[in-house]
């Protein structure tokens, strides 16, 4: 019991250390640069306490739950030997985790606003909503596709850099043809897709697969899934902007 | 009292976000793989902790850091603070005017990345897989430096109004050149670190900064120029992580050569 308590206190300190830079930056700018008092100090302190507790619990849960399940699923799929179902799983994981992602919903709504102001679509609530939904679907499809390709790469042992360079060329070529209004949104959509739960899960999946398949190195082959998931949305969103 | 109800609401929202993931995971496990999950109680406990942890984390950010951070981004980009007057075209070429904005961009990019939970996750995994060769802090600090440089350069782009794709394409070319010379084992991890950085903590604060800058600087349209900071924040860590690997390889190489020289004498 004391062991557990000691461990918990130790990880609490780790979380405090992780958050110290933000608190320092905010205090420095607020007090020294803007020279203003900190509003609602009590709220700030309770909030920071919540963040510290939350980060501690999350990192703990990561090691207990998300990492083991990601790896065990990868292991089981590798043993089952059914490539088809593994790829279906990869696609479903990418699509399912992205389509409901709150950050993506926010970006899609903003993008619809841009499109309406830029005259790409009608400036009505209905057409904006359908544009935002279409965009969300496009991004979710592209992430599903990315995880699928990434898993296929791990199994086949293709070097990651060739696929990424191919993707970059795709982005550059599409940039030349896509309407200028969509480019900023497209570039940003690559970054917002990967959420706090998806990242550990997908990483564990990749590393688990690479360590269960003979001849694959978990370091060189296991990582890279997230990279695909942040690259394909750019290409797909620019494509969406060209079609609409 | 208010804290507890807010926390419950956030918890429910987190459950809603995690539900599709749980359904996919357990559905495939039970229907396709038809295998019992090893250590099921432990895994469920882990999921519970992740849910609770995220709910506390998000609620705390919403209460403390986001309002203040967003307010500061607004104040730092306010026309009065920047000294923007009617004929602002002259001033906007003077980068010193925006010194505090760039410094804030750098500092906020660095500090939010250090606190980013998904980066902590990837760093733990990379440390495990590499057998300790990649230190969690080495990776996290180099990613954070990458994000910091990226966000500052992205702010500079908004201030000057140069097209986004020039920067991104130039960045790609640099990444490709680095890939050729970089130790092969780090490449996949470096590419990954671009995607993981921009998540729960970084995105809202960086978006506030972009919105503040693009709506206050004359001639910038927030709808067009406000985007793009996230793209910078996901491109630059790729370079900094590869740079970190190249640097540590070079240091190890030099140490080895010196050792050999010493022995030779």
Q: Which of A62, A102, A225 sits opposite B50 (nearest CB)?
A: A62
Do A167 and A226 contact (CB within 8 A), yes or no? no
CB contacts of A205 in chain B (<8 Å) are: none
Q: Looking at the predicted structure, is the pLDDT value of residue B15 above 50?
A: yes
**Chain B interface disruption, residue of A111, A162, A181, A188, most B CBs within 10 A:** A188
Do B53 and A58 contact (CB within 8 A), yes or no? yes
pLDDT band at A1 (very low <50, low <70, confident <90, very high): low
Answer whether B111 sits within 8 Å of A25, measured CB to CB.
yes
**Chain B interface disruption, residue of A34, A51, A90, most B CBs within 10 A:** A51
CB contacts of B125 in chain A (<8 Å) are: 67, 200, 203-204, 207
Least confident among A82-86, B75-79, B125-129: B75-79
A58 sits in the region (left: phi over 0; alpha: psi -120 to 50; else beta) called: alpha
**Chain A interface disruption, residue of B29, B227, B236, most A CBs within 10 A:** B227
The pLDDT of B194-212, averaged and rounded, is 81
What are the DSSP calls for A117-158, one per residue? HTTSS-SSHHHHHHHHHHHHHHHHHHHHHHHHHHHHHHHHT-
What are the DSSP calls for chain B, one per residue? -HHHHHHHHHHHHHHHHHHHHHHHHHHIIIIIS--PPTTHHHHHHHHHHHHHHHHHHHHHIIIIIHHHHHHHHHHHTSHHHHT--SSTTTGGG-GGGGHHHHHHHHHHHHHHHHH-HHHHHHHHHHHHHTTTSS-HHHHHHHHHHHHHHHHHHHHHHHHHT--HHHHHHHHHHHHHHHHHHS-GGGHHHHHHHHHHSSSTTHHHHHHHHHHHHHHHSTT--HHHHSTTHHHHHHHHHHHHHHHHHHHHHHHHHHHHHHHHHHHH-
Q: Looking at the predicted structure, is the pLDDT value of residue A195 above 80?
A: no
CB contacts of B126 in chain A (<8 Å) are: 223
Chain B: give the shortest CA distance to residue A69, in Å. Answer: 7
Q: What is the CA radius of gyration of chain A?
A: 22
**Is B225 part of the contact surface with chain A (CB cutoff 8 Å)?**
yes
ipTM: 0.87
* Tokens representing residue A69 in the block: 């399940």
Q: What is the CA radius of gyration of chain B?
A: 22
Backbone angles phi, psi at B78, to 5 degrees: -65, 140
pLDDT in tens, B106-140: 999 999 999 999 899 999 999 998 888 888 899 99
Chain B from 30 to 49: CB within 8 A of any A CB: 32-33, 35, 37-39, 42-49
Query: What is the value of pTM for the model shown?
Result: 0.88
> Greatest CA span in chain A, whole angstroms?
65
pLDDT for position B94: 58
The pLDDT of A16-34, averaged and rounded, is 87
**Is B53 part of the contact surface with chain A (CB cutoff 8 Å)?**
yes
Name the H helices within A28-101. 41-61, 67-80, 83-99
Q: Please work out, in degrees rounded to the nearest 5, the angle formed at the alpha carbon of residue A89 by the alpha carbons of A86 and A93.
A: 140
């Amino acid at each position: 019991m004391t062991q557990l308590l000691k461990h918990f206190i130790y990880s609490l300190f780790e979380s405090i250390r992780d958050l110290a830079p933000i608190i320092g930056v905010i205090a420095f700018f607020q007090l020294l640069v803007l020279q203003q008092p900190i509003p609602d100090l009590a709220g700030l302190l309770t909030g920071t306490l919540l963040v510290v507790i939350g980060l501690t619990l999350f990192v703990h849960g990561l090691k207990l739950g998300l990492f083991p399940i990601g790896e065990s699923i990868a292991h089981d799929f590798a043993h089952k030997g059914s490539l088809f179902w593994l790829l279906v799983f990869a696609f479903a994981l990418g699509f399912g985790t992205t389509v409901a992602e709150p950050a993506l919903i926010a970006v899609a709504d903003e993008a619809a606003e841009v499109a309406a102001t830029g005259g790409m679509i009608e400036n009505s609530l209905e057409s904006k909503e359908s544009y935002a939904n279409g965009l969300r679907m496009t991004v979710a499809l592209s992430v599903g596709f990315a995880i699928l390709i990434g898993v296929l790469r791990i199994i086949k042992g293709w070097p990651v850099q060739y696929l990424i360079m191919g993707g970059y060329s795709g982005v550059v070529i599409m940039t030349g043809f896509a309407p200028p209004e969509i480019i900023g949104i497209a570039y940003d959509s690559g970054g917002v897709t990967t959420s706090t739960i998806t990242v550990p899960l997908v990483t564990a999946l990749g590393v688990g697969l690479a360590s269960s398949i003979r001849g694959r190195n978990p370091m060189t082959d296991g990582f890279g899934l997230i990279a695909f998931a942040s690259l394909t949305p750019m290409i797909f969103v620019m494509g969406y902007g060209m079609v609409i | 009292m208010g804290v507890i109800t807010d926390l419950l609401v956030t918890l429910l929202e987190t459950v809603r976000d995690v539900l599709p993931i749980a359904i996919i995971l357990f559905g495939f496990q039970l229907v396709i793989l038809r295998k019992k999950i090893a250590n099921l109680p432990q895994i469920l406990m882990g999921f519970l902790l992740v849910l609770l942890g995220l709910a506390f984390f998000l609620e705390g950010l919403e209460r403390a850091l986001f309002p203040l951070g967003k307010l500061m981004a607004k104040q730092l980009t306010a026309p009065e603070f920047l000294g923007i007057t009617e004929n602002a075209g002259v001033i906007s070429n003077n980068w010193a005017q925006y010194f505090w904005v760039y410094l804030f961009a750098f500092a906020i990019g660095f500090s939010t990345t250090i606190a980013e939970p998904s980066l902590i996750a990837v760093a733990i995994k990379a440390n495990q897989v590499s057998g300790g060769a990649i230190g969690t802090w080495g990776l996290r600090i180099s990613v954070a430096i990458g994000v910091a440089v990226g966000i500052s350069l992205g702010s500079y782009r908004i201030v000057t109004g140069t097209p986004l794709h020039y920067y991104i394409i130039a960045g790609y070319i640099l990444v490709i050149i680095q890939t050729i010379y970089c130790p092969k084992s780090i490449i996949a991890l470096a590419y990954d670190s671009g995607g993981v950085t921009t998540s729960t903590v970084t995105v809202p604060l960086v978006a506030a900064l972009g919105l503040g800058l693009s709506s206050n600087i004359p001639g910038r349209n927030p709808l067009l120029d406000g985007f793009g900071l996230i793209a910078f924040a996901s491109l630059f860590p790729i370079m900094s992580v590869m740079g970190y690997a190249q640097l540590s390889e070079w240091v190890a190489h030099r140490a080895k050569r010196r050792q050999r020289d010493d022995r030779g004498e």
